Amino acid sequence: MSSTDHVDRYAVVGNPVAHSLSPRIHSSFAQQTGQALSYQAIELPHDSFTAGIRDLQQQGFSGVNVTVPFKREAWELCNHRSEAAQEAGAVNTLTFLQGGDIDGSNTDGVGLVRDLVDNLKVAIKDRSVLVLGAGGAVRGVLGPILAQSPADLTIANRTLEKAIELARDFSEQGSLEAVAYDALGADNFDLIINGTAAGLSNEVPPLPTRVLGANSICYDMMYSASTATAFVDWAHSHGVAKAFDGIGMLVEQAAEAFALWRNVRPDTTEVIRSLGRP
């Protein structure tokens, strides 16, 4: 009998996934809440996500988190989806049920909102919010942002058509406007959230500085373990006093997944601090 036979097994699957912080985060949660479980990072080949998941089910895993680039495929694979997953068109948390069915949830948006509102005390309600990017990452968080009732929500994207499509898809949940970066006017925003993939290549979106007001707050959905992200750097270098990276969002989406699986909500404060947020 191996040492893991008696504990429930979980994993994060992605490609690449070796540097994922999720095993560390979930181990902290397990320790803190006294839950016996194991959690590992598993890289799946790009072309065999479904086979990889079926294999983990066969092995007796209880659930997995899904990261880049498989969140859409995970959505397609689910037999049941939470409302957040349904509208996000992407799934980051799979729960394997008895009999082989799979439940899918998306905890990214809730994670972002919890980090902003609860941890950082950055209100969204009645504020003017600008979201940068119109890919899968942004689609995953728009519902929970709109549920906070911002005064207005603008989506800026390099490819304007994608922003227009997103604004249309979410139009029943609030008023959204889609714009190109160079069409952003002189009105500044209370909160600017970077949901683009620009940071992966150490770039920042072409955001005109006129959108920054004296009290604007910047938030990067990306995080960096060592140095500031490119967007946080950009914000600070243009005088923004409050700019945060997405380490808190990462921990909060994990906490939400943990709560779904284990029915107990871990405390996130210490975990976020241990990952470098002051």
Site residues (vs ligand ATR, CB under 6 A): 133-138, 157-159, 162, 196-198, 203, 205
Q: Which long-range contacts (CB under 8 A, 24 or more apart) does 23-26 make?
A: 24/275, 25/250, 25/251, 25/254, 25/271, 25/275, 26/254, 26/258
Q: Whole-number minimum distance, CB 201 to ligand ATR, in Å?
A: 6
138 versus 272: smaller Cβ distance to ligand ATR = 138
89-94-97-99 Cα dihedral, nearest 10 degrees: 70
Nearer Cβ to ligand ATR (144/266): 144
In angstroms and rounded to an integer, the radius of gyration of the C-alpha atoms of the chain is 19
CB of 88 or CB of 116, closer to ligand ATR: 88
Assess whether 71 carries a catalytic annotation.
yes
Residue 230 vs residues 1, 139, 218, 223, 226: alpha-carbon distances, Å? 48, 22, 12, 10, 12
Burial category of 7 from C-beta neighbours within 10 Å (exposed 0-12, middle 13-18, buried 19 and up): middle
CB of residue 32 to ligand ATR, shortest distance in Å = 30
CA distance 145 to 148: 5
**Catalytic option among 71, 125, 162, 242:** 71
Q: Which of 32, 35, 26, 71 minimizes the C-alpha distance to 53?
A: 71
Q: Give 120's DSSP letter.
A: S
**Closer residue to ligand ATR (CB): 187 or 203:** 203
Of the pair 198, 271, the CB lying nearest ligand ATR is at: 198
Residue 103 CB, shortest distance to ligand ATR, in Å, is 22
SS3 206: coil
CB of 130 to ligand ATR, least distance (A): 13
| Rounded distance between C-alpha atoms, residue 15 and residue 17, angstroms | 5
Q: Measured at CB, which residue is nearest to ligand ATR?
A: 135
Q: Count CB atoms within 10 A of the CB of residue 101.
A: 12
CB of 246 to ligand ATR, least distance (A): 12
Catalytic residue positions, numbered:
71
